[in-house]
Amino acid sequence: MNPIDPRVHQALDGEISPDSLPPELRRQVERLEGAAALLARVPELGVERRVMASISRPAPTRVRRLTRWLVTPHSLVLRVRPLWSVALAAVAVLFAIIPVRETGPRLGQEEGIAQFVARFPGAQSVAVVGSFNDWAEGSIPMEDQDHDGVWRASVVLPAGTHEYMFVVDGERWVADPLAGRYVEDDFGRENSLLIVRPAHR
């Protein structure tokens, strides 16, 4: 990180006038002030109704708060004597070597599992389309079981690189915002990119 001239900081803190700075430093001040101005856009969201509805309800009782705490996941730290850890590890190994009936699909050597997750509150349907299903809707429908707007699908796919998009309500095509990898689709848009690793590795 390159340090900025202290006079730039002074100007941005209102301690000196930017006009007193040489042009190069004044440009830095303008760049940063311009960036801040662009970030000053207020999002088109509103929470007033939601907040007023919440405060109209009576505050949760102590019992209800306790119940909520009990069912919410928390991280717990366990302190165990080394002798006990050895014993626990031995029990774990015993379970690992005794065959347990496996559930879930049988995967081929060149197959893996892809997990798709996306947030589309208010959507009626979401599907995954891509190079693995000839871009046809209907073969990989996603599910929103909790009706919280979070859609999921867990799919067995050939290992390798795949391009895909989501289709929302049968008409809106969207690249996966959580994909992290994108390529141009050569039709003026972007596809998300997925790398499926072989499950047997």
Partner 1 sequence: MSIRSDPSDPEVVARVLGGDQEAFGILIRRYEPGLLRYATRMLGSGDAAADAVAEGLVRAYRHLASCREPARLRTWLYRIVVNRCKSHLARHATRDVSLEEAPPMADPADTEAEVERAEQVALVERALERLSPEKREAFILKHVEGMSYEEMAVVTGERIPALKMRVHRAREALLEALEEYR
Partner 2 sequence: MNRRARTRCGAALLLGLVTGLMPVPRALPAQSVRARLEGRVPATSIPVIDSLIREAGREGLPTDLLVQKAIEGGAKHVSGERIVKAVELNIDQLRRAQALLVSAGDTPPVTPSEVAAVVWARKRGLDSMTVTQIVSAIPDERRGAALHAVADLVAHHFPADSAADLILAAVRQGMHGGRLLDVSYAAVQELQRGHSHSEALAMVQHQLPNVPAQPTPPKSSLERARRPLAASHGEPATP
Enumerate binding residues for partner 2 (CB under 8 A): 1, 103-105, 109-110, 112-113, 115, 127, 129, 131-141, 152, 154-163, 167, 170-171, 173, 180-181, 183-187, 189, 193, 195, 197-198, 201
For residues 7 and 191, which CB has a smaller minimum distance to partner 2 in the complex? 191
Residue selected from 66, 89, 93, 178 as contacting partner 1 according to rule CB under 8 A: 178
Contact partners, residue 114, CB within 8 Å, separation at least 6: 154, 155, 157, 162, 194, 196
Least distance between partner 2 and beta carbon 124 (Å): 13
HSE, CB side, 13 Å, CA atoms: give it for residue 196.
26
Distances from the Cα of 50 to the Cα of 9, 45, 122, angstroms: 41, 11, 17
**In the range 145-174, which residues lie near partner 1 by CB under 8 A?**
174
Q: For the beta carbon of residue 131, count every other beta carbon within 10 angstroms.
A: 16
H or E, element range at 28? helix 23-39
Least distance between partner 1 and beta carbon 102 (Å): 30
Rg (CA), the chain: 27
Least distance between partner 2 and beta carbon 177 (Å): 14
The amino acid that residue 68 corresponds to is: R
What x-and-dash track marks residues 51-70 binding partner 1 by CB under 8 A? xx-xxx--x-----------
Per-position DSSP letters for 117-138, written without gaps between them: EEE-TT-S-EEEEETTTTT-TT
186 binds, among partner 2, partner 1, none (CB under 5 to 8 A by kind): partner 2
By the rule CB under 8 A, 107 interacts with partner 1: no
For residues 75 and 109, which CB has a smaller minimum distance to partner 2 in the complex? 109
| Measured distance CA(127)–CA(185) in Å, rounded | 18
Contact partners, residue 16, CB within 8 Å, separation at least 6: 7, 10
Residue selected from 19, 22, 23, 40 as contacting partner 1 according to rule CB under 8 A: 40
Least distance between partner 2 and beta carbon 200 (Å): 8
Residues of this chain that interact with partner 1 (CB under 8 A) are 1-4, 8-9, 12, 28, 31-33, 35-36, 38-43, 45-48, 50-52, 54-56, 59, 118-121, 174-175, 177-178, 189
